[in-house]
Structure 1
Amino acid sequence: MSLELICLALAGLLWAGQLAHLALRANLEIGTRYFLSPRDDPPPKPLSPGTSRLKRAYDNHQEALLLFGVAVTAISLADKSTPLSGALAFIYLGARVAFVPAYVLGWQPWRSVFFGIGYLCSILLLVLALI
């Protein structure tokens, strides 16, 4: 398996871990009754600021993971895996891992820096797949 695909699989596990952590914290704050309901009504109370940030970090990763997945798929199907593309995938993964605590803990400007690094890596992977 290429390094790009390994990083994609690990990014998927990061996404799953973020969802599990978010679900646990939200259930502890709001209670399982709401989450077991059809959720036709708004939650009985808002999420805490920390859990709200965790949700936004999760949502952001979900969006970023799509672009990264497209880039890795393009690299793999075009058979363009190189040490550079592997390094870009690894840097993307590191940036996304660092993004979570940066977002949840409000580290400025690092949250934006980590987002930008991951985004740039995905774009560069797409370019490498095309050349």
Structure 2
Amino acid sequence: MTAELYALAATVLIHLAAVFWSQRSLEADIGKDGNLGTRENLDAQLSERTKRLRRALSNHTENIGLFIIAVVLVQFTGSNGWLTGLCAWIYVIARALYLPAYAFAWVPWRSAIFALGLLATLVMVLAAVF
């Protein structure tokens, strides 16, 4: 298995951690019964940290597709190498840091961490295409 595929597998773990952390925070704010309900007027009941965790999860969900595409392109084109492997793991590390950066409002570091992960993904795509 290639470094890029291992990084993709690690990204699954980060995604699960984001879901779990967000859900635990949500339940801490509204309780299990509230979580089982309709969740109407939910934002009014949530702490700022829970709101940030939910936005971080949403951002992760929106951006994981780009990374999956990058890994698929690298795999299918046989462009695997030290650069794409390094970029894949930079993405994983950036996404792992992004969650606490968003949750704990690390400004401006959250944006820098996001940009690093996005740049690593774009380099992988470019390596596959050119």
User: Of Structure 1 and Structure 2, which has the larger fraction of its residues in helix?
Assistant: 2
Q: Which amino acid aligns with 2:24?
A: L
Residue pairs, 1:84-99, within 5 angstroms: 84-99=83-98
Deviation at 1:44, TM superposition (A): 8.4
- Corresponding residue number in structure 1 for 2:17: 17
Q: 1:19 aligns to what SS in structure 2?
A: helix
Letter paired with 1:120: L
> Is the CA contact 2:98–2:113 (under 8 Å) kept in the aligned structure 1?
yes
Q: Structure 1: 5+ residue runs without aligned partners?
A: none
Q: Can you list the C-alpha shifts for 1:66-94, whole angstroms capped at 9, x where unaligned? A: 10011001111111101100000011111
Q: CA RMSD in A?
A: 1.5
Residues 1-131 of structure 1: pairs in structure 2 closer than 5 A = 1-37=1-37, 39=38, 41-43=40-42, 45-131=44-130
Change (3 A) 1:79 1:25: same
CA distance in 1, matches of 2:43, 2:32: 11
Contact 2:7–2:88 (CA under 8 A) maintained in structure 1: yes
Show CA shifts across 1:29-72 (max 9, x none): 112223223x2733384210011111111111111111001100
What CA distance in whole angstroms lies between the structure 2 residues aligned with 1:14 and 1:33? 27
Name stretches of at least 5 consecutive residues in structure 2 with no aligned partner. none
Could you tell me how far apart the structure 2 residues matched to 1:12 and 1:124 are?
21
Compute the TM-score of the two structures, normalised by the length of structure 1: 0.92
Q: How many equivalent pairs are there?
A: 130
| Partner Cα distance (2:3, 2:43) in 1 | 45
